[in-house]
Amino acid sequence: MLLELHEPVVALMRQVGRDIVMPRYRNLTADEISEKAANDFVTIADKESEIRLAQGLTAILPDAGVIGEEACAADPTILERAGEGLNWIIDPIDGTGNFASGNPPFGIMVALADGGATLAGWIFDPLTGRLCHAMLGGGSHVNGEQVQARESDGDLPIAAISTIFMAAEERADMESRSQSIFTLVDIPRCAAEQYPRLVLGQNDVSVFARVLPWDHAAGALFVNEAGGCCQRLDGSPYVVGDLSRGLLGASSPRLWDKAAATLFA
């Protein structure tokens, strides 16, 4: 079933990127951007993209429900069933803050989950056309080519740590623990970019404080199927629908262990 879904899902995501997302890029008026919460933006393109993706994905697999970021913003009870049954999970524009500012990166993310397990995930960059996808037990691919996660070649492992949703003391502690162990770099404020960086040798470690399914279902599967490691801070698997804080991704199991011991011991 998963292989049969791939081509229609990719075609839909490319169509939405071409017809809805890119025409609005650097072409938004002030009244087409709003804040759902502090530093949490939504645009008319997010809303239109989600509607079109939800319609298209439902047509592709009618038996699956839909868990969309913007639908959950309007009705938080939808999120309560994210870990129940077969569901499409949609991030219509990941990195909306970047998109709304007219800056890269941003992307479209779709996953298919059954209960707590992610079966397949797709991450599409409409600016470059890069498509990352993974299927459970089927490996990870970039633009159709299978990839294996690789570590960066710097003197120290490169860590991109999202501290946006951390308290000040937690942030300071994280930065202190990283000294002389990791090279800290800025986050792209876009999970659709951060997860590929863990596989493509650009970053070695990423820490995510807030764990919402549309941000992480596709990306965590992509890293794990590529031979990297993305797990909860206690080493347990990422489960869709579990909204407890904290997720650690790394380009290899070795670096996951190193990061867990350094940052969370």
pLDDT digits (tens, 9 = 90+) for 69-86: 999 999 999 999 999 999
The predicted model gives 194-205 an average pLDDT of 97
CA-wise closest residue to 94 among 126, 134, 117? 126
Round to whole Å and give the CA distance between 99 and 107. 9
The predicted model gives 82-101 an average pLDDT of 97
Model confidence at 60, in pLDDT bands (50, 70, 90)? very high
- Residues carrying CATH 3.40.190.80, the chain: 158-263
Q: Is-contact 147 226, C-beta < 8 A?
A: yes
Question: What pLDDT score was predicted for residue 141?
Answer: 98
Q: Is-contact 124 13, C-beta < 8 A?
A: yes
CA-wise closest residue to 93 among 36, 24, 45, 39? 45
As given in the structure block, the two tokens for residue 53 are 């993706």
153 CB neighbour count, 10 Å cutoff: 7
Model confidence at 239, in pLDDT bands (50, 70, 90)? very high
Is the pTM higher than 0.85? The answer reads: yes
CATH architecture, range 158-263: 3-Layer(aba) Sandwich (3.40)
The predicted model gives 12-31 an average pLDDT of 98
Q: Is-contact 218 123, C-beta < 8 A?
A: yes
Question: What pLDDT score was predicted for residue 19?
Answer: 98
Question: What pLDDT score was predicted for residue 127?
Answer: 98
Question: What pLDDT score was predicted for residue 40?
Answer: 83
- Residues carrying CATH 3.30.540.10, the chain: 2-147
Domain 2-147 is found in CATH 3.30.540.10: yes
The predicted model gives 43-68 an average pLDDT of 98
Question: What pLDDT score was predicted for residue 6?
Answer: 98
Instruction: Inform me whether the pLDDT recorded for 162 exceeds 80.
Output: no
Question: What pLDDT score was predicted for residue 37?
Answer: 78
Question: What pLDDT score was predicted for residue 1?
Answer: 77
Instruction: Inform me whether the pLDDT recorded for 165 exceeds 80.
Output: no
Could you report how far apart the first and last alpha carbons of the chain are, in Å?
A: 42
Across the strands, what pairs with 58?
none
Question: What pLDDT score was predicted for residue 109?
Answer: 98
User: For the chain, what percent of residues have pLDDT higher than 70?
Assistant: 100
Q: Within 179-252, where are the H helices?
A: 191-199, 213-225
